[in-house]
Structure 1
Amino acid sequence: MSKIIPFKAVRPTADKVALVTCRTYDDYSSAELAAWLNFNPYSFLHVIHPAYANTQKITIDKRFKGVLHKYQDFKNENILISEEHPVFYLYEIQTKNQTFTGIIAGTSVEDYQNNIIKKHEDTLQFRVELFKDYLHQTGFNTEPVLITYPDSVEINTFISLRKKSEPIYAFATPNKEIHTLWKIDTESEIDWLQQHFEKIPNLYIADGHHRSASAELLYEEDKGLGNPNLKYFMSFLIAESNVKIYEFNRVIHDLNGHSKEDFIKLVAKNFIITDKQRELYQPKSKYEFGMYLDEKFYALEYKFKDKSKSILENLDAQILYDTVLHPILGIGDLRNDERIDYIPGKQSILHMKEKIDDGEFAVGFMLFPSDISEIKLLADNNLIMPPKSTYIEPKFRSGLVVYEL
């Protein structure tokens, strides 16, 4: 039984929403960030990255206090407004290739603790504690956890009918996306959604494992304060058939002392290797991998498929780690080893090719993306994917909806 709640959100005024909302902070290069901050005084980047010119000179505590002060400035200047009553939102993102639609709601920390909200990725404790401190000092969050739920005919019908009503926002962004937001604020609609989500036995975190873990940690530390908002964290709930899962491809700086010829021989112990020359090869199915080395593409087919192995052992990202990255290339810690980097599969394969051709990296591996059934099966069995196994869309715009603690 999954519990969701409406909440009294803070959001931009309709005339400024296109100027306020932004991509997540990590998506911007330093040059982009400086340009947007200089160009657009309404950008939420001013809130989440205050005093950007002096970032290296201030402490974390001062930076968090700066975030809070700038956020309060945006509210005082009526750039951001508060809902009078708790609401849900229906949110749609139209990209060039796909439309994503889901419900913005508060989800329960207790459900997270009781494994009703399931996870498939591990977290780094220092990142969890850092974001917990951020939440504690700023008192708000604007990046919801992306959560999937099993497709429901009833909920899909509700969404389709609700989208025919007048939205509170409909705006375009510089990356040519269309964003539309509807407010769900009638008592009957709120009750209906809560009752239908109560029928769903489990929800699954698709993206935002650190944010949900931070919300739990903050709740455990501050629950004695009696703040009811700490019992929930903001989530974007989307049907599992509506998420888009990309792979993370891997690039490694060197061959760990191996010659090209010896490296290929070692890889051939576990893979059937086909030389694709300069064909921009990408794997077509599970157990297939691509490799780019010395200006050539190779197709790698795993030799030892065994359905009797665990779901984790049969995960493509785990197979690559167990057969190549760890034993041959000497990559032990996938999160922290500086010899490896990751490129979202959403990016063109030419991006990887250029990095290797320029000498920045020695070899690259392309993976076939996991599907939602693999992610759910791992979560149901309390198994954890290797780091950077999935890049999942949609991505939420910062500053669109704010959950205050």
Structure 2
Amino acid sequence: MVKVYRFTGLRPQRAYAAQIASVPYDVVTADEAAEIIRKNPLSFLHVSRTDALLPDIPADDEQIYVQARENFQELQEKGMLQRDDAPSVYLYRVKQGGSLYLGLVACLDVDDYIDDVIKKHEHTRYDKERDRTRHIDATNANTGLVVVLYPDEGDVFGYIESILPEGEPDAVVKTEQGNVHELFRITDRVRLAHIEDLFARVPAAYIADGHHRAKSAVTIAQERRKAGTYGPEDGRFMAILFAHKRVKIHGYSRLVTDLGQYTPASFLAALKERFDVRPYGEIDDTVFRVPPLKEAANLHVVHMYLGGIWYELSTPVKNPEDVIGSLDVSYLQRTVLEGMLGITDPRGDARLQYLGGARPLADLEERVDSGEFAVAFSMQPVDVETVMAIADDGKVMPPKSTWFEPKLLSGLVIHTLGEGKKE
């Protein structure tokens, strides 16, 4: 059963919430983060992405994490971040376009992650995991939300929705895109106990986004247990829980720096031996997904941008019963990235980079047209039931197989760990 915990959150004063709240650390590049911080020095990115402030030192230099700790402490010392007076949970509502999302922010149990009550569907990337582990250790806090799904036919979500306060939110932020993020603190002990009881009846939860943040939090807990510096809050990590039918999934794009032994012409010719390859024609590059020209059950469909042209690659799924092997991302990895380009480690090969599925297709075009990358692949989304079934089977998808919406802001609420490591 899933254990959820109330916690005493660290939050921005209402007057500073809109300035401090930032996009998650992993949806912007260092250059993009630096520009955001330049325009708004209070942006929480100056805690979560201090590498953007120190461009002349190596990405894994200890000074990056020292600076993160100092910047985080400064926000607290100036009173811009203040601790709540008692443990709570928080309702987080996002108004995005025509959609409305409502999630519960609480802490989850590290041991539930270890025991697979909290299920995973993706491997982490080594460099990203190391980075977040060091960041959590340095700041002694979970500064970003892990997005977790719970299977629900309405009972849990219905109750959460019913206790949403009618008054003003404790924090409200409107983004440049027009999305509205609202945070409501729940302190009533009866309601808190009922929420904990409801989740105690839920058999499992599923990480949707934030695999690196979750794994890093678990690593910190294990290290502190061994070191004897373990406090109760070290065994918990902050998450936002959504009912599984109340999120959206996008694909996750791949970018490759070079074509190895191939020229663009020979690469295209080799692909034609493995796929039906069709020039796509004009696309709307302001959207996130290329609509398939050919759409059918048991068909792999991938879109590729090469040499200024979009192509649709399609081929029948050979073994639909193989739930992992039949995924488009698996077939692309096995056949093209590994089989043709020699990228055998999708978790660590520097030639392969990823771009979140809610970025417009123009971002892929720009990165290829600039010469930074040789080719880009845009993926179709996987449905949420497939993701949960894979996790239930104890299997994992290739890295960066799914991009979940909504994306939550960082800095609106923070969970600090226990006594932790002494300096």
Q: Report the Cα offset of residue 359 of structure 1.
A: 4.4
* Cross-structure match for 1:189: 191
Query: Which residue is equivalent to 1:395?
Result: 407
**In structure 2, distance between residues paired with 1:44 and 1:279:** 35
Which amino acid in the other structure matches residue 99 of structure 1?
L
Q: What is the distance in 1 between the residues matched to 2:6 and 2:98? A: 30
What SS does the aligned partner of 2:389 have? helix
Equivalence for 2:207: 205
Q: Counterpart in 1 of 2:272?
A: 268
Superimposed CA distance per residue, residues 28-65 of structure 1 (whole angstroms, 9 cap, x where no aligned partner): 45555445444435333344456965564598444433
- Residue by residue over 1:56-108, the C-alpha shift from the partner in whole angstroms, topping out at 9 and shown as x without a partner, is 45984444333333323322322111111110000011222532210000100
- Give 1:379's aligned residue: 391
Partner of 1:22: 22
Displacement of 1:261 after TM fit?
Answer: 5.2
Give, in whole Å, the separation in 1 of the partners of 2:235 and 2:145: 15
Give secondary structure in 2 for the equivalent of 1:196.
Answer: helix
Preserved CA contact (<8 Å) 2:54 2:64: no
Which of 239, 245, 252 is matched with 1:241 structurally? 245
Q: Secondary structure at the match of 2:22?
A: coil
Contact 2:4–2:196, Cα closer than 8 Å, also in 1? yes
Q: CA deviation at 1:220?
A: 1.7
Give, as a single letter, the amino acid of the residue that structure 2 aligns with 1:363.
V
Change (3 A) 1:31 1:339: closer
Is 2:305 the counterpart of 1:292? yes
> Within 1, Cα distance between the matches of 2:32 and 2:373?
25
Counterparts of 2:130 and 2:376 in 1: how far apart (Å)? 33
Of the three residues 300, 305, 314, the one matched with 1:301 is 314
Q: Which digits, 9 at most, give the CA deviation of each residue in 1:117-136, with x for residues without a partner? A: 00011124554344333323
Match of 2:255 in 1: 251
* Contact 1:288 1:301 (8 Å CA) reproduced: yes
Cα distance in 2 for residues equivalent to 1:252 and 1:333: 13
How far apart, CA to CA, are the structure 1 residues paired with 2:353 and 2:183?
Answer: 36
Instruction: Report if aligned partners of 1:306, 1:314 keep a CA contact under 8 Å in 2.
Output: yes
Q: Match for 2:405: what amino acid?
A: E
1:138: how far off?
A: 2.0
Matches within 5 A, 1:162-177: 162-166=163-167, 167-177=169-179
Segment drifting more, 264-273 vs 87-96: 264-273
Residue number in structure 2 paired with 1:160: 161
Give, in angstroms, the shift of residue 189 of structure 1. Answer: 0.5
Contact kept? 1:291, 1:297, Cα under 8 Å: yes
Is the alpha carbon distance of 1:30 and 1:109 closer, same or farther for their aligned partners in structure 2, counting shifts above 3 Å? closer
Q: Give 1:72's aligned residue.
A: 73
Change (3 A) 1:75 1:313: same
Count of residue pairs the alignment pairs up:
404
Q: CA separation in 1, counterparts of 2:107 and 2:279?
A: 51
Q: Matches of 2:188 and 2:56 in 1, distance apart?
A: 47
The 3 A distance-change label for structure 1 pair 85 and 91 is same
Query: Of the candidates 209, 228, 232, which is equivalent to residue 228 of structure 1?
Result: 232
Q: For the structure 1 residues 50 and 245, does the alpha-carbon distance in structure 2 shift closer, same or farther, using more than 3 Å as the test?
A: closer
Query: Counterpart of 1:4?
Result: 4
Q: How does 1:55-94 map to 2 (within 5 A)?
A: 56=56, 60-94=61-95
Provide the C-alpha distance between the structure 2 equivalents of 1:115 and 1:345, rounded to a whole number of angstroms.
Answer: 27
In the TM superposition, residue 297 of structure 1 has moved relative to its aligned partner by: 3.2
2:47 & 2:260 partners in 1: Cα distance?
A: 43
**2:144 equivalent in structure 1:** 143
Closer, same or farther in 2 for the Cα pair 1:242/1:255, shift >3 Å? same
Question: Distance in 1 between the 2:153 and 2:136 partners?
Answer: 33
User: Over aligned residues, Cα RMSD in angstroms?
Assistant: 2.7
Aligned mates of 1:262, 1:34 — CA distance in 2: 39
Whether contact under 8 Å (1:4, 1:194) holds in the other structure is yes
2:339 to 312, 319, 327: 327
Q: Tell me the secondary structure at the aligned position of residue 377 of structure 1.
A: helix
CA distance in 2 between partners of 1:225 and 1:319 (Å): 45
For residues 293 and 226 of structure 1, what CA distance do their matches in structure 2 show?
Answer: 51
Given that 1:145 and 1:207 are in contact with CA atoms closer than 8 Å, whether structure 2 keeps it comes out as yes
Amino acid at match of 2:213: R
Which of 196, 216, 219 is the equivalent residue of 2:218? 216
With the length of structure 2 as denominator, give the TM-score of the two structures.
0.86
Mapped to 2, the partners of 1:402 and 1:77 lie a distance apart of: 16
Are residue 346 (structure 1) and residue 358 (structure 2) matched? yes
Between 115-124 and 30-39, the greater mean CA deviation after superposition:
30-39
Where do residues 358-369 of structure 1 align in structure 2 (5 Å cutoff)?
358-369=370-381
TM-aligned CA distance change 1:334 to 1:197, over 3 Å:
same
Gaps of 5+ in 1: none
Q: Secondary structure at the match of 1:353?
A: helix
Letter of the aligned partner of 1:104 in structure 2? V
Aligned partners of 2:21 and 2:44 also within 8 Å: yes
Structure 2 CA distance for partners of 1:293 and 1:31, relative to 1, 3 Å? closer
Q: In structure 1, what is the equivalent of residue 382 of structure 2?
A: 370
Preserved contact between residue 146 and residue 237 of structure 1 (Cα < 8 Å): yes
Partner letter of residue 313 of structure 2? Answer: L
SS of 2:123 mapped into structure 1: coil
Partners of 1:354 and 1:35 lie apart in 2 by 18
Post-superposition offset of 1:325:
2.1
